[in-house]
Amino acid sequence: MTDLIEDEGTQGNAPEFTVSEISGAIKRVVEGEFSHVRVRGELGRIARPRSGHVYLDLKDDRAVLAGVIWKGVAARLAMQPEEGMEVVVTGRLTTFPGQSRYQIVIETMAPAGVGALMAMLEKRKKQLAAEGLFDAARKKTLPYLPEVIGVVTSPSGAVIRDILHRLRDRFPRKVLVWPVAVQGEKCAPEVAAAIRGFNRLAPGGPLPRPDVLIVARGGGSIEDLWGFNEEIVARAAAESDIPLISAIGHETDTTLIDYVADQRAPTPTAAAEIAVPVRADLMAHLAQLEERRRRALATQLQNRRQRLRDLARALPRPADIVAAHRQKLDHLSDRLPRALQALAQARRTEFTRHAAGLRLPLLRQMVSQRRDKLHAVWEKFCRAAKTGVETRRARLDSLERLRLTLGYQATLARGYAVVRDDGGRLVAESATARAASALEIEFHDGRVPAIPGGRPSGRPGKSSKSGPSGQGSLF
């Protein structure tokens, strides 16, 4: 019982903390003792939520340290964290009371030596090679003589001056420079944006679209050249529709863009040499071709001339060919005047023979004979015409008598009549006459209107005296 009482007294003397108080006290102790630390380790689990922060684990063979990189710091990192990379981070230790754990808030991150960078580079290289970005089959052929060359580099370095100077010496071309940072955290996104920007230029637009691109940078350490090892740059180079020449660092420096590019140049100056031929060499080559053309043409003309001479020996002389025709022409020339005189004499004789029959008395006699003959023909024609007219008149009179005999007018003169309805149609039946609203009766000397009505009288030939308007009925 005494021991129990003593234990209770001891517990009663210890200070009492709430959970928040003890968590805050631990936080102040940890942050006070480890406000600025550098930690080396291997990156483990990496999470990138939509907030933009980066959560990761730093580990070695015996422990794990949670880490967080806030969104603003993550955007400024010179290299992006990848799982398995060995790095050295700088930051401050703090606690996370919500999960009762401590973590490091990372402010800077760098590879733990060249070996770590090379390991990460090798891993990235294998990944891109597996996707086929390094295949020779997808590489494009460079144009022999581009009109416009696009250069992606720093506008203030010696690289652009070397490229322009070399192009001016070899073959001056139009050059478009897209200024970018060639090292540091801005290098990779700016280079990728420049490559894609050149590809988005429309052919024939206000700004000419380059025929070939040069991505260039001078020499430096692996850390200085690391921007050209970023995946975003390699993929932009692989997506380029414009042939691309990479010229990063010196001849011994190799970056990922060199494997993806359509052509790798050991130096920026060499890139300019690859992009265009030497104008002087082209002029000399053209001069040689022109000289060869002249010699070939002269030789061909000489051969054709000799061939023509050889063929001419087998041909007859032109004078011999025309000699016989010349002689025949001379003979015909001698015969032509005599033939013309003979023809003219024959025509004169024929004219004289015909002129003898053209005397005036003879012509008068011929006219008199023709007149008598014409008069006889005219009298014969008049007699025939008169006989024909009389015959046709008699025939016409006979037909007229026949017409009058057969016509109904003659029948009307004998006491008959023609009945028509109001439409002018003939009425031949009594039923049709009763149905008509009005009738017209034609006698031999005229027509009389009538209105049907009344009843038949029973005696033929008698008609009722009653009817509309006092007019007698026909029925």
pLDDT score of 303: 94
CA angle 23, 29, 34 (to 5 degrees): 125
Report helix, strand and coil shares of the chain as percent, to nearest 5: 50, 20, 30
- Percent of the chain's residues with pLDDT above 70: 91
Q: What is the mean pLDDT of residues 368-374?
A: 90
- Rounded-to-10 torsion of CA 173, 166, 200, 256: 160
Q: What is the mean pLDDT of residues 27-47?
A: 84
Q: Among 28-42, 171-185, 296-310, name the one with the lowest average pLDDT.
A: 28-42
- Rounded-to-10 torsion of CA 282, 285, 290, 291: 150
pLDDT score of 304: 93
Instruction: Tell me: pLDDT of 1 over 70.
Output: no
User: How many other β-carbons are positioned within 10 Å of the β-carbon of residue 113?
Assistant: 13
217: which residues sit within 8 A by CB, 6+ positions away?
Answer: 153, 154, 157, 159, 182, 183, 225, 228, 247, 248, 249, 268
Residue whose entry in the numeric block shows the structure tokens 């004789």: 349
Instruction: Tell me: pLDDT of 322 over 70.
Output: yes
User: Average pLDDT over the chain, rounded to whole?
Assistant: 84
Max mean pLDDT range (89-93, 190-194, 359-363): 190-194
Which residue type does 374 have? L
Instruction: Tell me: pLDDT of 139 over 80.
Output: yes
Domain boundaries, the chain: 11-112, 122-277, 278-310, 412-470
- pLDDT category at 116 given cuts 50, 70, 90 is low
346-365 pLDDT, tens digit each: 988 888 887 776 777 777 88
| Cα–Cα separations (whole angstroms), residue 87 to 33, 60, 199 | 23, 11, 36
Tell me how long the chain is: 475
Do the Cβ atoms of 210 and 146 come closer than 8 Å? yes
- Look up residue 443 and give its DSSP letter: E
Which has more confidence, 359 or 12?
359
For residues 408 and 416, give the distance between their C-alpha atoms in angstroms, rounded to a whole number: 9
Q: What is the mean pLDDT of residues 451-472?
A: 48
Q: What is the mean pLDDT of residues 316-342?
A: 85
- pLDDT category at 26 given cuts 50, 70, 90 is confident
pLDDT score of 456: 46
Instruction: Tell me: pLDDT of 457 over 80.
Output: no
pTM over 0.85: no
pLDDT score of 13: 73
Mark residue 282 as left, alpha or beta (left: phi above 0; alpha: psi -120 to 50; beta: remaining). alpha
Instruction: Tell me: pLDDT of 325 over 90.
Output: no
The alpha helices in 135-248, defined as continuous H runs, are 158-170, 187-200, 231-239
Q: Among 119-128, 228-237, 239-248, 294-303, name the one with the lowest average pLDDT.
A: 119-128
Which has more confidence, 425 or 148?
148
* Domain 122-277 top-level CATH class: alpha beta
Q: Which two tokens stand for residue 392?
A: 């046709």
Residue whose entry in the numeric block shows the structure tokens 């597996």: 130
CATH number of 11-112: 2.40.50.140
Nearest to 220 by CA among 134, 129, 158: 158
pLDDT score of 467: 42
53: which residues sit within 8 A by CB, 6+ positions away?
Answer: 68, 69, 70, 71, 74
